[in-house]
């Protein structure tokens, strides 16, 4: 059973517009959430995270929103740039553990 779900396998956004990537989870015990970005033939790299005690975390063009009641988080990229084209994974962990549960990923394509 997939505990972390990314229901959109792909997303196309025009350069300069906002990209919104969504992630849903089922385990209410998750208390830390992360987004990773992956380019082809490379390992994933950390992008941004959020603790369950917060509902928003911002880092430059990237903002993550957490809605605990809906068990939903989203990543906003504003403005989107062609270099943002990659696969984005959301991940979640339980309190006081190091194990991450990943979603299936969303491929973002930013076109000119």
Partner 1 sequence: NAGVTQTPKFQVLKTGQSMTLQCAQDMNHEYMSWYRQDPGMGLRLIHYSVGAGITDQGEVPNGYNVSRSTTEDFPLRLLSAAPSQTSVYFCASSGGFGSGRTDTQYFGPGTRLTVL
Q: Which residues bind partner 1 (CB under 8 A)?
A: 4, 6, 9, 32, 34, 36, 41-46, 49, 51, 89, 91, 93, 96-105
Residue 35: CB minimum distance to partner 1, A:
10
Cβ atoms of 21 and 6 within 8 Å: the answer is yes
Residue 14: CB minimum distance to partner 1, A:
26
Cβ atoms of 61 and 20 within 8 Å: the answer is no
Nearest CA-CA partner of 101 in 109, 90, 92: 92
Nearest CA-CA partner of 25 in 41, 3, 50: 3
41 versus 112: smaller Cβ distance to partner 1:
41
42 versus 112: smaller Cβ distance to partner 1:
42
């Amino acid at each position: 059973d997939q505990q972390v779900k990314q229901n959109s396998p792909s997303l196309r956004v025009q350069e300069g517009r906002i990209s919104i990537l969504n992630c849903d989870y089922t385990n209410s015990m998750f208390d830390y959430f992360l987004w990773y970005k992956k380019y082809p033939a490379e390992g994933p790299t950390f992008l941004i995270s959020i603790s369950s005690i917060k509902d928003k975390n911002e880092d430059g063009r990237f903002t993550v929103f957490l809605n605990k009641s809906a068990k939903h988080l989203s990543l906003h990229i504003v403005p989107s740039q062609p270099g943002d084209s990659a696969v984005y994974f959301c991940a979640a962990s339980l309190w006081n553990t190091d194990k991450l549960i990943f979603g299936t990923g969303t491929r973002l394509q930013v076109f000119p």
